[in-house]
């Protein structure tokens, strides 16, 4: 299981209200105890923080808000000592406008490292508004995200060379790999053709927008794979690629490209048996066809937390057991193991996500509220950068740690048992609204995705359940793991 540490919100080591690398290092024991195999650290590089660190001004240094390069090194080394691998984010689609290259470009020097034109086309930014901003001398530059995130020109040899050097910098420091931001967007189509549709942003994730999922991105990933493979140990690349279908996504994880790709098709599937079974089967088949592991993601720092999306803690508990029973790599977003809900009533003045330009409801602040560590007021934070709701005491790590039935205990136990499960997934026939599958060694998982009790004969001895276990029935919105009786 790979655990996403949203550094800003995970743990605060210096008491300034913003999570940092020292804070993350202090909590490695918690992560080891939880049973994580690897952590993915979101960007901690020098940045004006217009997009909370996804706007990088210096790819080889740590922002003072998050610590120092020495803190990064100490975190990596200490994690390794606990058997936890460390994956860092790399943001190659765009830099910050504060990056020295863009500052040069503004002065008219080496503009071709970015995408400048005399006239804009009709592309819209993912964060809303035109994807083009005009500079003083009249030219326009492309930014698929915020205007402070100018897109790089990946046809420029210096851009390629610079990122290869940045990869080596972090690999030399000891990281085990990279989560590649916007891995599907780095190369734009020849001639930057107009789209001509009124409502472009809605089409992201479909194959309609010409700026995503172009064939030319794969050549870059292949060159990165060679760099990863040239280092000792296994160094991996994880694609953040919003591809229209699992088949298109599988193209990012061919044997000579990246190792894994986030499964956003799974993340986007509603709490219903039919669609989930379909996406699980399709994901397993397409990943297997290219020899890569399937991945499973329920939440991250860009989407509404799934307790809220699915509508209840019971469903989130069941979803955890379903996900952790599947073959492949599971990704857990910090706070998911506590069952944190989306915070929907953040005061307006704290909502600073640039994506709110598109539509205030699409703001991603509510899933980025800091982790409650202790039960008492403050939850272990002094003036957290986003206010933490009243009533989160029972959700805190402190409160849940010793509580047998808590969400945290469920994740811990599931992650421990998961290590004993292997083999391919085989579906069994089961009543409508349920999912039942086994793995090779007699492990069975049952899930009831409906709000009613459903009759089903016990397939063995229950070993872990998200809800009550009654003989002969599956409780509403629950999942159970069983060991089949050996004949
Ligand atoms: O996200 C890429 C991306 O496409 C997101 O905009 C996503 O579609 C959207 O947020 C869903 O609501 C990555 C990072 O994960 C995100 O935090 C950054 O803002 C973005 O890249 C730009 O670097």
Residue-wise pLDDT for 117-175, tens only, equals 999 999 999 998 999 999 999 999 999 999 999 999 999 999 999 999 999 999 999 99
Is 136 considered catalytic here?
Answer: no
Q: Domain 426-483: state its class.
A: mainly beta
* Residue 54, ligand 1, Cβ within 6 A: yes
Ligand 1, residue 126: give the atom nearest the CA. Answer: 6
**Rounded-to-integer distance, Cα 40 and Cα 33, Å:** 17
Q: Whose CA is nearest to atom 11 of ligand 1?
A: 302
Which of 181, 183, 301, 354 for mutating ligand 1's site (highest number of atoms within 8 Å of CB)? 181
CA-based R_g, the chain, Å: 23
Q: Whose CA is nearest to atom 4 of ligand 1?
A: 182
* Residue 176, ligand 1, Cβ within 6 A: no
Structure confidence at residue 471 (pLDDT): 87
In this structure, of 78-92, 185-199, 230-244, 406-420, the range with the lowest mean pLDDT score is 185-199
**Sheet harboring 478-483: ordered strands across?**
426-427, 434-438, 443-448, 478-483, 461-465
Ligand 1, residue 127: give the atom nearest the CA. Answer: 6
Q: State the distance from the centre of ligand 1 to the C-alpha of 112, rounded, in angstroms.
A: 25
Is 240 considered catalytic here?
Answer: yes
Structure confidence at residue 203 (pLDDT): 62
Arithmetic mean of pLDDT, 264-276: 97
Which of 126, 179, 364 for mutating ligand 1's site (highest number of atoms within 8 Å of CB)? 126
Task: Determine the angle formed by the axes of helices 157-173 and 216-229, rounding to 10 degrees.
Answer: 30
Arithmetic mean of pLDDT, 431-440: 97
**Rounded-to-integer distance, Cα 372 and Cα 392, Å:** 7
* Residue 146, ligand 1, Cβ within 6 A: no
Q: Where are the domains of the chain?
A: 2-93+157-418, 426-483
**Residue from 78, 94, 12 nearest 39 by CA:** 78
* Residue 182, ligand 1, Cβ within 6 A: yes
Q: What are phi and psi of 48, to 5 degrees?
A: -75, -10
* Residue 126, ligand 1, Cβ within 6 A: yes
Structure confidence at residue 244 (pLDDT): 87
Mean pLDDT of the chain: 96
Which of 44, 145, 204 for mutating ligand 1's site (highest number of atoms within 8 Å of CB)? 145
**Architecture, CATH, for domain 2-93+157-418:** Alpha-Beta Barrel (3.20)
pLDDT in tens, 200-254: 766 655 666 889 999 999 999 999 999 999 999 999 999 999 988 899 999 999 9
Query: One of 146, 181, 213, 336 is an active-site residue; which one?
Result: 181
Same fold, 2-93+157-418 and 426-483: no
Ligand 1, residue 355: give the atom nearest the CA. Answer: 10
- Given a cut of 80, is residue 486 above it in pLDDT? no
* Residue 10, ligand 1, Cβ within 6 A: no
Q: State the distance from the centre of ligand 1 to the C-alpha of 177, rounded, in angstroms.
A: 20
Q: What is the ipTM of this complex?
A: 0.97
Ligand 1, residue 302: give the atom nearest the CA. Answer: 10
Q: State the distance from the centre of ligand 1 to the C-alpha of 145, rounded, in angstroms.
A: 8
Single pTM value for the model: 0.97
Which of 99, 148, 182 for mutating ligand 1's site (highest number of atoms within 8 Å of CB)? 182
Q: What percent of the chain lies above the pLDDT cut of 90?
A: 91
Structure tokens at 46: 């020098």
């Amino acid at each position: 299981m790979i655990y996403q540490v949203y550094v800003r919100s995970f743990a605060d080591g210096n008491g300034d209200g913003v999570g940092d690398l020292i804070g993350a290092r202090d909590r490695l024991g918690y992560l080891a105890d939880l049973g994580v195999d690897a952590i993915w650290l979101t960007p901690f590089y020098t940045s004006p923080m217009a997009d909370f660190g996804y706007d990088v001004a210096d790819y080889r240094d740590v922002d003072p808000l998050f610590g120092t390069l020495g803190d990064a090194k100490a975190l990596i080394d200490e994690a390794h000592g606990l058997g936890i691998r460390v994956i860092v984010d790399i943001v190659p689609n765009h830099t910050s406008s504060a990056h020295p290259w863009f500052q040069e470009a503004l002065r008219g020097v080496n503009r071709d490292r970015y995408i400048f034109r005399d006239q804009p086309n009709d592309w819209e930014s993912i964060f809303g508004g035109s994807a083009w901003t005009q500079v003083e001398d009249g030219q326009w530059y492309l930014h698929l995200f915020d205007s402070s995130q100018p897109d790089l020109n990946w046809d420029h040899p210096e851009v390629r060379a610079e990122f290869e050097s940045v990869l080596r910098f972090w690999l030399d420091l000891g990281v085990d790999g990279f989560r590649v931001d916007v891995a599907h967007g780095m190369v734009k189509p020849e001639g930057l053709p107009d789209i001509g549709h009124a409502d472009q942003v809605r089409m992201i994730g479909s194959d309609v927008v010409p700026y995503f999922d172009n064939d030319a991105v794969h050549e870059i990933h292949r060159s990165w794979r060679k760099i990863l493979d040239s280092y000792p140990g296994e160094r991996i690349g994880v694609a953040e690629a919003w591809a229209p279908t699992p088949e298109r996504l599988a193209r990012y994880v061919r044997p000579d490209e990246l190792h894994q790709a986030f499964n956003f098709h799974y993340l986007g599937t509603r709490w219903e048996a039919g669609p989930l079974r379909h996406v699980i089967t399709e994901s397993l088949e397409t990943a297997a066809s290219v020899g890569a592991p399937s991945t499973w993601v329920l939440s991250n720092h860009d989407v509404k937390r799934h307790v809220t999306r699915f509508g209840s803690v019971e469903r989130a508990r069941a979803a955890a057991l379903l996900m952790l029973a599947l073959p492949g790599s599971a990704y857990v977003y910090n706070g998911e193991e506590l069952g944190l809900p989306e915070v929907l009533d953040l005061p307006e003045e704290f909502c600073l996500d640039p994506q709110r330009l598109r539509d205030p409801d699409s703001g991603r602040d509510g899933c980025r509220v800091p982790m409650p560590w202790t039960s008492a007021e403050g939850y272990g934070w002094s003036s957290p950068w986003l206010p933490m709701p009243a009533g989160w005491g029972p959700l805190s790590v402190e409160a849940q740690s010793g509580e047998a039935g808590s969400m945290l205990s469920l994740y811990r136990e599931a992650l421990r048992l998961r290590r004993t499960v292997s083999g391919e997934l085989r579906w069994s026939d089961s009543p409508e609204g349920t999912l039942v599958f086994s793995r090779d060694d007699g492990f069975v998982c049952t899930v009831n995705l409906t709000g009613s009790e459903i009759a089903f004969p016990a397939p063995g001895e229950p070993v872990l359940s998200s809800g009550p276990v009654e003989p002969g029935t599956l409780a509403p919105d629950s999942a159970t793991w069983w060991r089949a009786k050996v004949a």
